[in-house]
A and B are shown apart, each in its own frame.
Chain A
């Protein structure tokens, strides 16, 4: 590789992707930044686009008007949602992966394909399926619970249950993702590690702690990063299942941004809201990239 050429060549290869993302991602972002300093209502466009300075940001951070929920409170709900979903996805995904990585592997292939199906459904569909099952009087879940003789919870009518309902639906849809990633990680653990553990007479917990966890650590981080970002960014499930309710008890950040932008049509305010969300996601990601980076140094 001679110096001059090798300096230009990588950039030549990077330019197309950079150009595409500049046009599609950065330009809209700059435009949004400009919008976030203005008030612009699409319901009453004749009022025009007026410069208001930092008022949108200030308003978002201090009052929660007109959403009925303040930004910090919504952030707290988002963190609960995020934590619940990630715990469920990773936990059940790990259990399933361990179950399927056992010696009994007949029919594993077709089972794995079946297992992927919920992830293939559009979130809009998943949301509607679950919403239907959560109905208090005629929903399927309560029908089953009553048949077994258990009390039927008011799924979407109580703040706590509504959050649980959201988390359950999201976990159901995304288990396949964590399952597949973790299964691959477990299957790639070299056989000699297990044999060595057998010789040392390690118990189940020790195997888990000293073989399973170190070898799947990276897979965990990948799952948390990808799913974490999407949970902060995407509003499909809260939008379909609870519509942020009851009252505002499941109004997570992306749902609020959607409400501001496309229900109240306060475009400037929505842009400011989205910017604050973006800042949060960046914090989340920088934290995680640092954790990801640290690993090779330790290994």
Chain B
């Protein structure tokens, strides 16, 4: 028996060595556009829906979609940047990477194409809010076309509010007046929030900015430990009292699951997931979910926003074809298709189109919310900043720090991150 086994082993080694040298061979004679994006509803599903239609119209083009969750997607792009680029043709890019990757020569400036397709460009400019479009302008050049407008929206359980005879709060002050009436754990928690690490910072931005704060002054000297920062931190701490205890470990998906199953009544406003929560095919409670503008704070409503755009890799072999696909994807006539596949368009006309609103009823509120929106900072350091702020806020929630201490420590750390930029701007 052992002889036989050994011969198998030898044969196996050879087969193993042989197969390992066989590389999959790309299909010749076809244009292959590689698209890197994110997975799931609003992202990968929408891209696939539109790409299928595009390939039907252009049989000589093959759109290969690579989609990953956020973390892995960011890793993949960073690796391609480090390796010199060229792995992907069309890049689904987060606004906050525009600056760094434009400077690195990874993204292709789109100005030449915009000049050439002026009709399309005028249509885009007239149909998308300036704040949304502006996120993709850097050093006076355009780097991506937004296909996704993204501002905060407030989701809540309409049925629970109705039962308690309460109206939807429109300010944070009202939220805290209403919350005790609804809060009845373990069946109902008045609030829910995704508070894990940088997500906590994400909840903190809106009250911080509404109270008049901003991350830094014009020389990038951090201004997080201002009274506005402390107030927003205190607000967050107060809010966590009405959240299920494990919200501190939640990312978005946990929050939506909790909204569906764990009796979370009001969701701390965030910029995601209407397409899941209000979609009866995706969420059981979809018909009971109400949508409203996020609460104001101290009489003001400032909503920090982000978003995604489609850009082209400088090293792509098929730049023109990639541009053609981007035009198709963001074109006015294809927005219904996008929405039918759970997409979330940036165009105002698409957000207010009755057909689309019937499919995703949060669109009308989103369109209104975009009027209050200001973009979050687009510099490369920002993703570090939000991680730092999030961790310090988490420490505060655990009771290790007071709000003032947390905000002060975050400020000290952020200063270290911004040091290079501060020196540069003071020169």
Contacts and interface: CB of A to CB of B under 8 A. Distances in A.
Contacts of A154: 245-246
B258 A243 contact: no
A138 B262 contact: yes
Interface stretch (B27-35, B276-284, B392-400): B392-400
B345 interface: no
A247 B395 contact: yes
Contacts of B261: 137-138
B103 A65 contact: no
Contact of B394 (A67, A135, A247, A259): A247
A283 B53 CA distance: 59
Contacts of B249: 156-157, 162, 242-243, 245-246
A162 B394 CA distance: 14
Interface stretch (A189-197, A199-207, A262-270, A284-292): A262-270
A142 to B, nearest CB: 10
A263 B251 CA distance: 16
A159 interface: yes
A75 B99 CA distance: 36
Interface of B: 71, 74-75, 78, 81-82, 97, 99-101, 103-106, 186, 189, 196-197, 244-249, 251, 254, 257-258, 261-263, 380-381, 383-384, 387-388, 391-392, 394-395, 397-398, 400, 413, 416-417, 420
Of A135, A162, A264, most buried by chain B (CB within 10 Å of CB) is A135
A66 B78 contact: no
A157 B248 contact: yes
Nearest to A135: B246
Interface of A: 41-47, 65-68, 135-138, 154-159, 162, 242-249, 259, 262-265, 267
B81 A45 contact: yes
A43 B196 CA distance: 22
Contacts of B100: 41, 43-46
9 closest A-B pairs by CB: A137-B262, A46-B103, A44-B380, A247-B394, A68-B391, A136-B246, A45-B104, A157-B246, A156-B249
Contact of B78 (A158, A259, A262): A262
Contact of B398 (A138, A155, A159, A263): A159
B197 A243 contact: yes
29 contacts: A41-B100, A43-B381, A43-B383, A44-B99, A44-B100, A44-B104, A45-B82, A45-B101, A46-B100, A46-B104, A65-B416, A66-B387, A67-B391, A68-B388, A68-B392, A135-B246, A135-B254, A135-B258, A137-B262, A138-B258, A154-B245, A157-B245, A157-B248, A245-B197, A245-B249, A245-B394, A247-B400, A248-B395, A262-B75
Contacts of A267: 82
A66 B81 contact: no
Given A68-B388, A155-B246, 17 more contacts: A42-B78, A43-B78, A43-B383, A44-B380, A44-B381, A45-B100, A45-B106, A46-B103, A65-B416, A66-B384, A136-B245, A137-B263, A156-B249, A157-B246, A246-B397, A262-B74, A264-B387
A138 B187 CA distance: 11
A291 to B, nearest CB: 34
A208 to B, nearest CB: 37
Contacts of B383: 43, 263-264
A203 to B, nearest CB: 43
B248 A245 contact: yes
A47 B196 CA distance: 30
A162 B289 CA distance: 32
Contacts of A247: 248, 391, 394-395, 397-398, 400
Given A45-B104, A137-B258, A156-B246, A263 B387 contact: yes
Contacts of A243: 196-197, 249, 251
A42 B261 CA distance: 40
Contacts of B262: 135-138
A43 B394 contact: no
* Residue in B78, B381, B420 with the greatest tally of chain A CB atoms within 10 Å: B78
A157 B254 CA distance: 13
A136 B391 CA distance: 21
Contacts of A155: 246
A83 to B, nearest CB: 23
A68 B413 CA distance: 9
Contacts of B420: 47
B296 to A, nearest CB: 29
Contacts of A157: 245-249
Given A245-B197, A263-B387, A264-B387, A66 B245 contact: no
B20 to A, nearest CB: 13
Contacts of A259: 387
A137 B247 CA distance: 10
Which of A45, A245, A247, A264 has the most chain B CB atoms closer than 10 A to its own CB? A247
B397 to A, nearest CB: 7
A136 B381 CA distance: 34
A95 B71 CA distance: 40
B104 A66 contact: no
B248 A66 contact: no
Contacts of B398: 158-159, 246-247, 249
A245 B195 CA distance: 10
Contacts of A248: 391, 394-395
A164 to B, nearest CB: 14
A58 to B, nearest CB: 13
B422 to A, nearest CB: 15
Nearest to A242: B249
Nearest to A155: B246
Nearest to B97: A43
Contacts of B384: 43, 66, 264
B257 A138 contact: yes
B60 to A, nearest CB: 34
